[in-house]
Chains A and B, each alone.
Chain A
Amino acid sequence: MANSPAEAQGSVKEMRMQEALRETLRYEMARDGRVFVMGEDVALFGGAYGVTRGLLQEFGEGRVLDTPISESALIGLAVGAAINGMRPVVEIQFSDLLPLAMDQLASHAARYHYMTGGRINVPMVVRNKFATRPGGGPSHSSCNHGAFIHFPGLKIIMPTTPADAKGLLLSAIRDPNPVLCFESHYLYGIRGPVPEDDYTVPIGVAAVRRAGKDLTIVTCGGMVLKADAAADALKEKGIDIEIVDLRSLAPLDKETILGSVAKTRRAIVLDEGPMIGGISAEIAAMIQENLFADLKGPVVRIAAQPIPPPHSPPLVDAMIPDVGQIIDAVMRLAEGGKIS
Chain B
Amino acid sequence: MLDTAKRKALLRQMILVRAFEEKLEDLYQRKAMFGSTHSYRGQEAIAVGVCSALQPTDLIASYHRGTGHLIAKGADLYRLLCECMGKADGYSKGRGGKMHMGDMAFGFLGNTGTVGGTVPTATGAALAAKVRGSKEVVVSFFGDGAANQGVVHESMNLAGLWKLPVIYVCENNQYAMTVSFEKSVAIKHLSERGAAYGFEGKTIDGNDVEAVYEATEQAAAKGRSGGGATFLECVTYRWDGHFGGDPGTGYRPKEEIEAWKQKCPIKRLKENLIRQGQLTEQEFEKMSAEIYAQLGEVAQRAEAAPLPKKEVDLNSVYATAEVADG
Contact = CB atoms under 8 A, between A and B. Distances in A.
Interface centre among A36, A104, A112, A251, by most chain B C-beta atoms within 10 angstroms, is A112
A85 interface: yes
Interface stretch (A76-84, A159-167, A320-328): A76-84
Contact of B123 (A76, A117, A122): A76
Contacts of B38: none
A238 to B, nearest CB: 43
B91 interface: yes
A73 B161 CA distance: 13
Interface stretch (A7-15, A62-70, A192-200, A220-228): A62-70
B70 to A, nearest CB: 12
Interface string B93-122: 111100011111100011010100111111
B102 A116 contact: yes
A70 B121 CA distance: 14
B149 to A, nearest CB: 9
Contact of A73 (B105, B109, B151): B151
A121 interface: yes
Contacts of B169: none
Contacts of B100: 111, 115-116
Contacts of A155: 318
Contact of B104 (A78, A81, A119): A119
Contacts of B150: 72
Contacts of A77: 120, 123-124, 127, 155, 158
A104 B324 contact: no
Contacts of B151: 72-73, 76, 103-104
Contact of B131 (A36, A108, A117): A36
Contacts of A112: 102, 110
B157 A118 contact: no
Nearest to B59: A84
Interface residues of A, number: 47
Contacts of A85: 128, 132
B326 interface: yes
B131 A83 contact: no
Given A63-B131, A119-B324, A76 B96 contact: no
Contacts of B162: 65
Contacts of B96: 115-117
Given A72-B150, A83-B102, A104-B117, A114 B109 contact: no
A251 to B, nearest CB: 8
A67 B124 CA distance: 13
B126 interface: yes
B154 interface: yes
A120 interface: yes
A117 B154 contact: no
Contact of B158 (A68, A88, A113, A153): A68
A219 interface: no
Contacts of A122: 319
A120 to B, nearest CB: 4
Given A72-B154, A80-B127, A120 B324 contact: yes
B186 interface: no
B3 interface: no
A158 to B, nearest CB: 18
Interface in B155-171: 155, 157-158, 161-162
Contacts of B91: 116-117, 119
A234 B156 CA distance: 57
Contacts of A108: 112, 114, 117-118, 121
A152 interface: yes
Given A116-B110, A119-B324, A62 B131 contact: yes
A80 B319 contact: no
B237 to A, nearest CB: 28
14 contacts: A67-B158, A72-B150, A72-B151, A77-B123, A77-B124, A77-B155, A80-B123, A80-B127, A81-B127, A104-B120, A111-B112, A113-B319, A114-B316, A121-B321
Interface of B: 59, 61, 90-96, 100-105, 109-110, 112, 114, 117-129, 131-132, 136, 138, 150-151, 154-155, 157-158, 161-162, 316-326
Given A72-B120, A81-B127, 20 more contacts: A73-B155, A73-B157, A76-B119, A77-B123, A80-B126, A80-B128, A83-B121, A83-B124, A83-B125, A111-B112, A117-B90, A117-B91, A118-B319, A119-B326, A120-B102, A120-B324, A121-B322, A121-B323, A122-B319, A176-B321
